[in-house]
Structure 1
């Protein structure tokens, strides 16, 4: 399917299974302050991690179609699990649409690590995906890095509920991170876009477990830079004027509004939608 040339003033679409992609949106707003952004939180269909690649592919196509109807000039799949499951499908369906996915930052982690022992925190779906395992093997062979994979069952759900600094979340983080530090990891990859939202709690767990410096790798900055490159290449990078943010959610409008305010300190308009019915 070919798309008509996009206007410079057209918005960029960003979607995630919930509020985790706000960590990516935060980087995009910082680096591309003139762009209009449409953020789609598919919280009514979450979690993505327990669904098949076929189901997630169909869902990603539905969300992308919804955002294309609103004129987006580019798409950011701000979800590691959706990227693994659906990015190839989206690029095949829309070859002329700039699409940026997210993946755990193994390459920058290998560059940052001094002892080549790197912990990777992610969902089980991400860590078991063929795309991720190929990337791990490629970078491990090139750098000699040892990647210690840690599925973080339930962590994204806790963050989705707004449990950023609760005792339950802290205990979960300690259970997942402490063994990686005990194995000598000096770098931790935050392999789910939800996880940077609890970075302060992660740092507390690290400080409690070790006096060594541990580097945290968040790929949101790299995603924003790649988006800027693609927009510039397409001639659609907006370089003047004030940017804006609009939110869409398949769950609670109030919940997404609270997440925007509480997690990244903004109060954009938010609309509740139903895919298929496209009710706003």
Structure 2
């Protein structure tokens, strides 16, 4: 058993959708969360940039004595997961493989849509993984780059927000999909808007729940589960505005938190 925290990294608040699953299902586990809001969106960055950012954040979290790292960002998973798996002395879990497995289990007609950042779409990571799991799967991917800044600005409640979401997901309708992967961890925060846009006949797949199951499995296999009597603690760090981060995090997690600002130069100088 091990009472050290689980680390989460994301380009912003989106990874909180994954962290929330872990907090709910593993209440004895401590977490350290890092949102790199000063450098988002990752979906418009080069692979080299993303690998640099991911490595910097991973090293920051390693110094916080994490026992496992969740790359709670689809773009970082697509572009940097193999590098982190090679370089870090702890288990590393991404979001694409678990999300793909859940989608394959969910679809009835093998026609699966993916909405994600342009970076994730252009990496073809979901296409490859879904085809690996089922070569007959038909995959239709769509970049929705406006969604991340909307979530980061708290714009996921109003009628005008719904209009933007409905317009941006429209191109995926013509493919006869019955399953849609929310291929960015920001997107579940606006899940209700997306569901209304696509209709109830399309099942939304949030990789967060599947990632949590993989976290549980990995912790058990490596004997890293926290003791039942352990009192969990939650730490949050952001390169962006801490007050803004807190506002969205508290809205999503439904709990009071504190967050610490980290200057980007502190990461670059490590």
Q: Which runs of 4+ in 1 moved over 3 A?
A: 130-133
Out of 92, 95, 98, which is 2:91 matched to?
98
Kindly provide the CA deviation profile for residues 239-269 of structure 1, in whole angstroms up to 9, marking residues without a partner as x: 3233221110101110111112112212222
Report how far residue 140 of structure 1 moved.
Answer: 4.6
Q: How many residues align?
A: 266
Q: Distance in 2 between matches of 1:90 and 1:112?
A: 29
* Range 43-52 or range 132-141, more displaced: 132-141
Which residue of 2 is the match for residue 3 of structure 1?
none
Whether the aligned pair in 1 keeps the contact of 2:112 and 2:180 (CA below 8 Å) is yes
Which residue of 2 is the match for residue 198 of structure 1?
190
Which residue of 2 is the match for residue 222 of structure 1?
210
SS in 1 for 2:245: helix
Whether the aligned pair in 2 keeps the contact of 1:20 and 1:194 (CA below 8 Å) is yes
Unaligned runs of 5+ in 1: 1-6
SS in 2 for 1:25: helix
Kindly provide the CA deviation profile for residues 73-116 of structure 1, in whole angstroms up to 9, marking residues without a partner as x: 1111100001111111111111x301111117233223322222
Q: Distance in 2 between matches of 1:226 and 1:93?
A: 20
More helix by share: 2
The TM-score with structure 1 as length reference comes to: 0.89
Is 1:266 the counterpart of 2:255? The answer is: yes
Kindly provide the CA deviation profile for residues 10-40 of structure 1, in whole angstroms up to 9, marking residues without a partner as x: 1111010000001001111111110110110
Q: Distance in 1 between matches of 2:77 and 2:3?
A: 26
Kindly provide the CA deviation profile for residues 111-148 of structure 1, in whole angstroms up to 9, marking residues without a partner as x: 3222222211111111111533422432451xx22111
Kindly provide the CA deviation profile for residues 131-171 of structure 1, in whole angstroms up to 9, marking residues without a partner as x: 33422432451xx2211111112111111111012344312
Coordinate RMSD, CA, aligned: 1.9
The TM-score with structure 2 as length reference comes to: 0.92
